[in-house]
Amino acid sequence: MKNKFVIFGIIVLFAILIFVKIEGIKRHDFNSENQSNSDQRVYAFPTMAVPAYLNQSADVVQTYSYLVLNNSASFDSMQKNISSVKAVIVDSLSVNKTSLVSLNPIEQKKAFDFINAQKKPAQIYALVKNYSAGQWQGEQLAAMLSSKAARAEIISETVKYLSENKLTGVSLDFEALPASAQNNLVLFVSELHQQLQQNKFLLSIHVPANEPNWQYQKLASSADEIILMDYDQHQSNTEPGPIAAAKWFETAIKEIGAMVPKEKLVVGMASYAYDWSGGIAKGLTYQSAQALALKYKAVIIFDPESQSDYFKYSTGSVQHSVWLADQNSVKAEKTIAQKYGIYSYAVYRFGSEDQNLWKLLK
């Protein structure tokens, strides 16, 4: 009798082990399927050290915008919307072959004083660009970047300027740069960041979308933030079309996402318009575009494919096509960016924008 109980116990134990094994296999297969589906939905950004003092908060929208000096509409919009932004990028400095040029010092002080007087002041970045005499000076910039002495001088002047004005950091906007100068740009950003970091200043750099010559990953290894200018798909030298169609906008994020960690990525969003006629496009503020539509009784049409608004009108025999970047395009772009876990945006710019977009970016 005792042997029967022992045999029965062994049989029960064996049955339990088989059940547990089968369930384990089922659970493993279920988790594997979920993992596979998850891999298809979540985009993998690279891992890279991010400074703690950037204070990046997951899932919290952080908005930057640009102040154009000596522009009353830009200053008025900044005053109105200052509480909606984390940082203001002030159009402060221009760079030539050998030195920095300070733009509108009186207007700079007015802007800095206003921002710092707020109960919770926004961060202030000085924008450094290679734009002068009505165009981007790519060759001049290349000459500066190729000279060790010129780079050292620019870096020294930049640190001095930031220290004197007690700013957060500097934001580089270098455009029309020859492909041959890209290595020197990487070197300059590395040298500049080293000096800025020692003085607790931040460095961001604007980069174009879908540009194979730009070394995004190397720039990201030095800069604290990469601002992707995810706009101007269609512009002054192209045929009429959306300023940043939704699919084009998303493709740019996916491509740079393979090289720049999302914690360092700030996605640039446009808010202005272009008016094409005779093969040439004229830049407009959102308000000017709205006024044109009203004047010529044009119907503004929403294009669902690009998630953009546009309208057409004519002046005599001249046909015009106007595309806008407004709250509708920004809403779509925010949704796309958050799909990839990106919550930092740079809106170009105070004074040209659709005022309705600010409530979307809170």
Tens digits of pLDDT across the chain (362 residues): 444 444 444 444 444 444 434 344 333 332 333 333 333 334 556 766 555 445 555 679 999 999 999 999 999 999 999 999 999 999 999 999 999 999 999 999 999 999 999 999 999 999 999 999 999 999 999 999 999 999 999 999 999 999 999 999 999 999 999 999 999 999 999 999 999 999 999 999 999 999 999 999 999 999 999 999 999 999 999 999 999 999 999 999 999 999 999 999 999 999 999 999 999 999 999 999 999 999 999 999 999 999 999 999 999 999 999 999 999 999 999 999 999 999 999 999 999 999 999 999 98
Q: Assess if residue 150 is contained within a domain.
A: yes
The pair of three-digit structure tokens given for residue 139, joined into one six-digit string: 């060759």
Q: Assess if residue 241 is contained within a domain.
A: yes
CB 255 within 8 A of CB 228: no
The neighbouring-strand residues paired with 344 are 62
**Nearest alpha carbon to residue 349 among 88, 61, 43:** 88
- CA 237 to the chain's CA centroid: 22
The pair of three-digit structure tokens given for residue 12, joined into one six-digit string: 């029960």
**Rounded-to-integer distance, Cα 208 and Cα 222, Å:** 17
Q: Count Cβ atoms below 10 Å from residue 320 Cβ, excluding itself.
A: 18
pLDDT of the residue at 46: 76
Is residue 114 packed enough to be buried (19+ CB in 10 Å), middle (13-18) or exposed (0-12)?
A: middle
Half-sphere exposure in the Cβ direction for 102 (13 Å, CA) = 13
Print the domain residue range for 128.
56-271+325-361
Q: Assess if residue 136 is contained within a domain.
A: yes
**Rounded-to-integer distance, Cα 256 and Cα 214, Å:** 10
Amino acid identity, position 177: L
- Helical (H) or strand (E) element with 303: strand 301-303
pLDDT of the residue at 57: 54
Q: Assess if residue 172 is contained within a domain.
A: yes
Q: Assess if residue 298 is contained within a domain.
A: no
CATH of the domain at 340: 3.20.20.80
The angle, 0 to 180 degrees and rounded to 10, between the axes of the packed helices 138-146 and 148-165 is: 100
- Helical (H) or strand (E) element with 186: helix 182-198
pLDDT of the residue at 51: 56
Into how many domains does the chain fold?
A: 1
**Rounded-to-integer distance, Cα 27 and Cα 24, Å:** 5
State the pTM of this model. 0.86
Q: Assess if residue 135 is contained within a domain.
A: yes
Q: How far apart are the first and last CA of the chain?
A: 77
Q: Count Cβ atoms below 10 Å from residue 199 Cβ, excluding itself.
A: 11
**Rounded-to-integer distance, Cα 245 and Cα 214, Å:** 22
pLDDT of the residue at 41: 37
Name the phi and psi angles at 223, rounded to 5: -70, 150
Q: Assess if residue 230 is contained within a domain.
A: yes
Q: Assess if residue 280 is contained within a domain.
A: no
